[in-house]
Amino acid sequence: MRKYSNLDTKSSRAVRVEAATVLPTTAGPAAGPQNQELNGPDLVAPPLKRVSASYLFWITVANFGAGMAMMVPLSYALAVRISELEPGHEEVLGYVTGSAQLVYLVLSPLLGVWSDRLRSPFGRRTPFIVVGSLLGLVAVYFVAITPSLLLIGVGWVIGLLGWATAGQAIQTLLADKVPEEQRGRASALTGMTSQIAPVFGIGIAYAVSSSTVLIFVVPGIVGLVLVLAFVFIKREGSSRDIVRNDTIGVKTLLSSYVFNPRKHPDFGWNWLGRFIFFMGLYFNTTFGTFFYAQRLDIPVKEVAGIVAAIGIIGVVAATGGALVGGFLSDKLGRRKLFTLIGALLFVAGAIVEAFAHSIVPLIVGSVIMQLAIAAFSVVDQAIVFAVLPNRAEAGRYLAVVAFAQKIPSAIAPLIAPLIILIGAVGAEKNYTILYLVGAVFALVGGLIILTKVKSVR
């Protein structure tokens, strides 16, 4: 029976070595297949050492700020702006958000390689954090004042690119600075703030909801202040002395984000199950603001308070789902069972919301779904660690896993507008079928992991 410890002794040593040094691919005869497979830039980093509690605090604060600034437009402000310019055309929101996600999806590997190789007196990640945040703030202000839907789309492409780049650079700093024995608590802190940030952000937006410009700009300013506080209080240090190889090409870049599913079937099946589950999730979250406005028969601008209240309750449910799912799966030595339970709970919550027309069932359905998402995500992450093809290349393969979530976030908003038009009557969009389709996807994703991943119980 396979042990469920995150890293065995041998693998742990391998990961610690890789965290300290990315080996050159141009080595002589001693370079084995594993080093050749890396085929990446020649980067040498100092050994990892424990970071202080204050460092973890400030990087958590920065993650909170960047997450809030990005999520408020996605979950509320863009819907308000689009409803002002084109009332009754909710599908435009899907096109705007989906297009921006696709652009970032294409550019993120290039930004990652650039960040890895950047020589500057401020470090490798700090310039991306600062420039990304400033770009994001300017872009959301532009979105708030432009009178054109096309320009709103262009502005949000830039805004998402800016804030997402800053957020990704903050996450990469965790890998750069935090050693293995501290990564669990660091991930827990940043993961928790990722859930709390949108709730606080929408609360701030609701407080200034009389002005569309302030809805966009105030969360962005708060986010920028928190990010800059981290950057100046916990300086990254110079990266001018890093060793790098300037011969990396497009082929090498692209090959870093693929894997052979025939050679690693459990990793492949888990990737597919995760992909399908998150497709269902994003079907049922993209149009949340419009959905609540239609079902409660209130203006879109008045939805912020309801979304914030539901979000606060959902954060509590998500925390419980993560803790219960994680601890119980460890105690029982069962992973796949809990991913299925998470998928089934998601189905239950989606069905409740699909047929809800008042506030109480909407809250109940949303809380069940938040519980389900947390339980599924935490336990499936444990499965990911168990089925990684090569733990010495954990960074590479975890990047591949991330695409199982990023791709659905990009394409689901583009497909969802077509679904809500099926059987729609006048201005009333068919959100019932959208939520039911999302439930089916989530269930299929859970069943694939349960039946196809063989090396994990």
- d(C-alpha 116, C-alpha 108), whole Å: 12
Q: Which residue has the higher pLDDT, 435 or 427?
A: 435
Q: Residue 16's pLDDT band (boundaries 50, 70, 90)? A: very low
8-12, 333-337, 382-386, 400-404: range with lowest mean pLDDT: 8-12
End-to-end CA distance of the chain: 9
Q: Which residue has the higher pLDDT, 374 or 257?
A: 374
Nearest to 43 by CA among 24, 26, 70: 24
* Cα-to-chain-centroid distance, residue 226: 19
Q: Would you state the pLDDT for residue 39? A: 42
Q: What share of the chain is helix, strand, coil (3-state, %, to 5)?
A: 75, 0, 25
State the amino acid at position 21 in one-letter form.
T
Candidate ranges 125-134, 194-203, 371-380, 386-395; pick with highest mean pLDDT: 125-134
40-49, 84-93, 335-344: range with lowest mean pLDDT: 40-49
pLDDT of 17 higher than 50: no
Q: Which residue has the higher pLDDT, 399 or 353?
A: 353
CB contact at 8 A, 445 and 405: no
Q: Which residue has the higher pLDDT, 441 or 359?
A: 441
7-36: average pLDDT: 36
Q: Residue 40's pLDDT band (boundaries 50, 70, 90)? A: very low
pLDDT in tens, 69-115: 998 888 788 888 888 887 777 778 878 888 888 888 777 777 777 77
Using the structure block, give the residue that is written with the tokens 């691919």: 25
30-39, 368-377, 424-433: range with lowest mean pLDDT: 30-39
pLDDT of 271 higher than 80: yes
Q: What is the pTM of this model?
A: 0.64
Q: Would you state the pLDDT for residue 231? A: 92
**CB proximity list for 400: less than 8 A, separation 6 or greater:** 257, 258, 259, 271
pLDDT of 66 higher than 80: yes
Q: What DSSP letter does each residue of 216-235 carry, written as one string?
A: HHHHHHHHHHHHHHHHHHS-
HSE-up of residue 1 (Cα within 13 Å, Cβ side): 6
Nearest to 194 by CA among 384, 54, 369, 61: 61
- With 0-12 / 13-18 / 19 or more C-beta atoms within 10 angstroms meaning exposed / middle / buried, residue 319 is middle
Q: Which residue has the higher pLDDT, 256 or 285?
A: 285
Q: Would you state the pLDDT for residue 142? A: 93
Q: What DSSP letter does each residue of 64-89 carry, written as one string?
A: HHHHHHHHHIIIIIHHHHHHHHSTT-
CB contact at 8 A, 335 and 456: yes
Q: Would you state the pLDDT for residue 438? A: 92
137-150: average pLDDT: 90
pLDDT in tens, 170-226: 877 776 776 655 555 566 577 677 777 877 888 888 888 788 889 899 999 999 999
